[in-house]
Amino acid sequence: MHLDQQYIDYLKERNSRGIQSIYEKFSSKVKAMILNNNGNSEDAADIFQESLIDIYRLAHQKDFELTCPFEAFLIIVCKRKWLNVLKKRGRRPVTNLDDVAYKLSDHQLESINRQEQKMKEEKTLMLLIEQMGESCRKIIKATMGNTSQMEVAVKLGLSYAYLRKKKSQCMEHLRAMIKGHPVFNLNN
Amino acid sequence: MTTWNEEITDFLDGQLSEEESKAFVQEMKKNPALAEAVALQQSLNAWLAGAGEANQGQADLEAQLLSHRHYFTDEATIASGSTLKMPSKVNRIKLWLTGVGVAACLFLVLNYTGVFSDHLADLPTLQTEQVRGGDGRQQEDAAISAFNQKEYAKSAQLFEALWEQNKEVKRFQYYLGLSYVGQKKWQEAATLLEQLAQGPSLFKDDAAYFAALAYNYLGEKSKSQNLARQVSESSNYYKKANKLLR
């Protein structure tokens, strides 16, 4: 685990002083990168915020591990996000954004790519759940947290047996949706 | 042929007895498709657990991040500004009056065009229940399709018939209530959805929000706010419900 794991913990714990230190240390670089590449300060603030939220969500996944400096990870996530925005707006970066990348080992870059893929998969999974029927959506969301399934059944006004039967049907449906989806790399 | 569907969920949720688990593991060894399905669902479970944990704190994190936005915006204002001169007192009043006038005009125009609307009465797009079967399916699909095409009178008629056939299905009651909202039949919507919001149901939060909205339109502020307070934080309608409390 990298020493900069503390920044990940600040986000996970929603530590206000820690979050302030993230803004103090890293916001100026992200801002400069975006201002120099067809963006404004509002764009930079949005990209920075969205990237931190993505990292926060990723950090809640069981096997997440920071393998490089937090700054490099954050800047690369921001950079790729900004490139996507530019692409959608039909514009190109002014400067070569590769220069922004840090000198990272192949292993570190590979690890960042893997984490980014996971971010994509998590977002897609949430979108797929939103596309499911009302009952499945509600059952899956209600059983996502730490609440016991017995409590979930009571809360939803369902019998325990019905909840389990329905949940297994919904999970089967979700598995089928994921299996046929291009975003998921099921070999990793 | 069994799909092993319920067993997969039971196995991963630790609901099988020791003997059943052993038999299931043996079956997985013989059946690669089953083993693959179990592995996929295991990954999904891990994903969902992480996402569920993240969801719990995300609103708080977003609020904190928003409060640090000035790290990006303040400096830009200073950097882009030229040397500022203070206007004279008369000019300051003129400027102020001009500003107020422009703001008032803008407000009238934007308010008229609905820019300031919070879209409180926006209705969701209904999804078909892929996993259900039975005879009512076609009728429900037709009702959902009518609703999504904003043909609320038609969807109300169809959902009403479905609900009459099976009063146990809360989904039909909820969708009927939404169809009334779509028709701006506030009294019907309020009564039906309030009833749903009072009992246990998958649609409890959503029904409470739309009942609160309907009472708000009926001018019954107190009922509206009581229902809006019922909407739990995990609901998609929580933020909108809070707007009804103002």
B14, B22, B31 from B35: Cα distances, Å: 16, 14, 6
H/E stretch holding B220? none
B53: chain A residues, CB-CB within 8 Å: 60, 145-146
- The verdict on A128 touching B (C-beta cutoff 8 Å) is no
> Hey, are the CB atoms on A42 and B48 less than 8 Å from each other?
no
Confidence check: pLDDT of B175 > 50: yes
| Tokens describing residue A65 | 């591990």
Residues with pLDDT less than 70, chain A = 96-102, 186-188
Instruction: Decide: helix, strand or coil at residue B224.
Output: helix
User: Where do we find the tokens 């009302």?
Assistant: A134
- The verdict on A184 touching B (C-beta cutoff 8 Å) is no
**What span, in angstroms and rounded, lies between the C-alpha atoms of A138 and A140?**
6
**pTM of the shown model:** 0.65
pLDDT of residue A128: 94
User: Where do we find the tokens 């079967």?
Assistant: B133
Q: Which of B73, B131, B170 sits opposite A169 (nearest CB)?
A: B131
Q: Return the number of other C-beta atoms located less than 10 Å from residue A45's C-beta.
A: 24
Q: Which of A56-70, B125-139, B166-180, B221-235 has the lowest mean pLDDT?
A: B125-139
> Do the beta carbons of residue B224 and residue B213 sit within 8 Å?
yes
pLDDT of residue A63: 81
- The verdict on A143 touching B (C-beta cutoff 8 Å) is yes
**What span, in angstroms and rounded, lies between the C-alpha atoms of A63 and A131?**
27
pLDDT of residue B114: 41
**What span, in angstroms and rounded, lies between the C-alpha atoms of B219 and B148?**
28
pLDDT of residue A53: 96
Using only C-alpha atoms, chain A has a radius of gyration, in whole angstroms, of 20
B40: chain A residues, CB-CB within 8 Å: 175, 178-179, 186
Mean pLDDT of B214-220: 91
pLDDT band at B105 (very low <50, low <70, confident <90, very high): low
Which residues neighbour A165 within 8 Å (Cβ) at sequence distance 6 or greater?
B6
**What span, in angstroms and rounded, lies between the C-alpha atoms of B40 and A172?**
10
> Do the beta carbons of residue B229 and residue B238 sit within 8 Å?
no
pLDDT of residue B87: 43
- The verdict on B90 touching A (C-beta cutoff 8 Å) is no
Using only C-alpha atoms, chain B has a radius of gyration, in whole angstroms, of 27
**What span, in angstroms and rounded, lies between the C-alpha atoms of B13 and A174?**
17
A75, B1, B87 from A133: Cα distances, Å: 38, 26, 61
Q: What is the pLDDT of residues B24-67, one digit of tens each?
A: 999 999 999 999 999 999 999 999 999 989 988 999 999 999 99
CB proximity under 8 Å: B 178-207 to A: 199-204
Which value does ipTM take for this structure? 0.86
Q: Dihedral through CA B50, CA B27, CA B7, CA A145, nearest 10?
A: -10
Mean pLDDT of B119-145: 79
A interface test, pick of B68, B70, B77, B238 with most A CB neighbours within 10 Å: B68
